[in-house]
Copies of this chain bind each other. A is one copy, B any other.
Amino acid sequence: MSEQQRIPAPQVCRFLTAALERLGLPAQDAGVVAQLMTEAEMQGSDGHGVIRLVPYARRIRAGGINLRPKIRVVKEKAAMALIDGDNGMGHLVMKQAAELAVAKARQCGVAWVGARLSNHAGPASLYARMCLDHDMVGMYFAVGNANHLPPWGGLDMLLSTNPIAVAVPAGEEPPVVLDMATTVAAYGKVKAKAQRGEQMPVGWMIDRQGEPLTDPKRAEEGFLMPIGGYKGYGLAMIVGLLAGTLNGAAMGSETIDFNHDDVTVTNTGQAIVAIDPDAFGELDAFKARVDKLVRELRASERMPGVDRIWMPGEQSHARRIVNEREGLALPPALRAQLDAFARDIGMPLLQDI
């Protein structure tokens, strides 16, 4: 516990809010972004949660984010809208997109809202899950902000790990929430292996000769592998077409690598789809069918050594409950980084806020 002292989520959220305000976000916007970053951490998406404060700060200070964006609908029909994020924080853009998609789906049964000139918005499932609060199915597509994937058979990294998330409401069971990159491993996992001095399993990466690459320190010499080989390449491209190209957002060589460029407008593209099950029939009957499916999958006979069959999103759901009760366990290195950040910017430390 001394290594991983748990901090109540509201305290983490207060810290993030204060930090983002110091960085120049209006109070209300800072609160929204902090809340979503905390939610990401709560569900175990630690690569997209609190750890992002420092890179966001770097980009904000470099002038790469518009702190007073005019986020507005630039195209609209009954069941769709295209939002111009005006280079604001992606969380603000996609929260607005999700709310609009839900409102339109309430009227039309289904709605699709795309965004351009957005930015990194955290884990894909955050926005798909927003639809759950309205008893709707949510889907989310995004173009990643760094290209680590070549076309199948190619060497030029022109595609990102473009994620998909889908959230489906259940009745008594936790919602089914898929949140996946279209590569076997996300790039963050490679970096984590390198930090721990571990080898990667065969299948995560290949080198420029197409041979398995298992030394994460050599990651720069190779590429991530798409799931299912050429299928994952196709999925990454399609997600990019739907979330990027359709919205007039960056795709392919237009993608700005936000790890190496803090200034250029990323023109990030994302899309959210809301589907109202109530339009397709009785909502409660739908939820009961989801429960039934979940229970029969979970009750399947198991392979030797398998303790439990998990539904997509079920482990995140369990983590959220523990974190709500016990607080967030931030790794010591991250705590130290946050303390240094707070001292640097002249605000109270996480433990004192």
Please list the residues of chain A having a beta carbon within 8 angstroms of any beta carbon in chain B: 75-80, 82, 105, 107-112, 114, 137, 150-156, 158-159, 166, 168, 176, 178, 180, 184, 208-210, 227-235, 237-238, 240-242, 245-248, 251-253, 273, 275-277, 279-281, 285-286, 289-290, 292-293, 296-298, 300-306, 308-312
Contact = CB atoms under 8 A, between A and B. Distances in A.
A231 B183 CA distance: 10
A309 B235 contact: no
A279 B75 contact: yes
Copies of this protein in the assembly total: 2
A297 B158 contact: yes
Contact of A155 (B176, B240, B300): B300
Contacts of A110: 77, 79-80, 110-112, 273
Contacts of A273: 110
A82 B108 CA distance: 13
B178 A246 contact: no
Main secondary structure of the interface of A (DSSP, over half): mixed
Contacts of A305: 210
Contacts of A275: 80, 112, 242, 246
Contacts of A180: 228, 231, 234-235
Contact of A112 (B75, B109, B168, B209): B109
Contacts of A277: 246
Contacts of A253: 296
A303 B155 contact: yes
Nearest to A179: B234
A151 B234 contact: no
A74 B20 CA distance: 50
